[in-house]
Copies of this chain bind each other. A is one copy, B any other.
Amino acid sequence: MKSERLRNLLFMICRYFANTQKKFMPGIKHGETAIEILGTIAEMQRRATDIRKEGKTIAFVPTMGYLHEGHLSLVKRGKEAADILVASIFVNPEQFGPDEDLSRYPRDPENDIRLAETAGVDILFMPEAPDLYPEGYETYVVQTDLPEHLCGLSRPVFFRGVMTIVAKLFNIVKPHLAIFGEKDYQQLAVIRKMTRDLNFDTEIIGGPTLRESDGLAMSSRNKYLSEDDRKSARVLYRCLSEAGRRVAEGETIAGRIIAESETAIRAEPDTEIDYIKICHPGTLNDVAVIDQPVVMALAVKVGGTRLIDNLVLFPPGTGEK
């Protein structure tokens, strides 16, 4: 609790600095607008309305902060496609289960602001939880099918929380397009479906997964990994790329690939498999015989940290783009 207060204090000082001292900040050319930090829903809605009235387009990258190269690549993608890039930082309590890592989820707002500014974020929206979920909050966005697969099974409130916060943020930021990482494959599928089903006038764009040099998918949660965990964690991408190779060479039996991956993961210390699935890229239904591109998705706890990753597997002749 004490460290949280200290963090908040540092953050407020930092926000003050960023908002008032823009002209003295290094790297910002004279006349160029520095990053604009907004903290309230009303401010953000007003800005979004004004930007749209000016005929400009808004690209949106929602994040939970603790930014890394993966997030920044989404920012880059958004900047190419729209006039104004809005990013948000909000660790959404509604998508964490009671036994999950909400309280220890890594946060570093000062560094996030610096990274966002350098990456060219125009507006950084940093709302507070009590504003987004006031006393008596009770409205949620749900889906009946897609969440009944993969991560939805071990994280029952996760997608309800994700859809709810994304719907809220869409209503606040009013983006023409929004960019989400393909690393969270099911999340991207759920959000695409929600956007279409609820007729949000927003285009959803997936950004490719960025990886460390050893193949580990970039994730804020990688911070939790000890040095030994970090070594074990490499097995996720090793399994996926091995599966990609096997399918490209003609393997069609999903069960065989899954069994091989299980063996490889169990051979690494401190690993616990949540799921390894090969499924239809749209419906996420299990695929037994691979005769078209499929997505292989896995979730593995490494030293207590739950990591996810995925790869599309292309059978011969289905042509990886």
Contacts and interface: CB of A to CB of B under 8 A. Distances in A.
Contacts of A138: 143-146, 193, 197
Given A171-B199, A171-B200, A198-B167, A193 B139 contact: yes
Interface in A189-227: 193-194, 197-201
Interface stretch (A6-14, A27-35, A48-56, A177-185): A48-56
Q: Copies per complex?
A: 2
B143 A141 contact: no
Contacts of A168: 197-199
Contacts of A139: 141-143, 163, 193-194, 197-198
Interface centre among A140, A146, A199 (most CB of B within 10 A): A199
Interface string A156-183: 0000000110011001101000000000
Contacts of A137: 197
A82 interface: no
A303 to B, nearest CB: 36
B198 A49 contact: no
Contact of A52 (B52, B164, B199): B52
A63 interface: no
Contacts of A174: 201
A119 interface: no
Contacts of A198: 139, 141, 164, 167-168, 171
A49 to B, nearest CB: 7
A144 B140 CA distance: 8
Interface string A117-142: 00000000000000010001111111
Contacts of A41: 199
A45 interface: yes
Contacts of A45: 199, 201
Contacts of A136: 145
Contacts of A171: 198-201
Interface in A253-269: none
7 contacts: A45-B199, A52-B52, A52-B53, A139-B193, A139-B197, A141-B142, A164-B198
Shortest 3 CB-CB contacts between residues of A and residues of B: A139-B197, A171-B199, A138-B144
Interface of A: 41, 45, 49, 52-53, 55, 132, 136-146, 163-164, 167-168, 171-172, 174, 193-194, 197-201
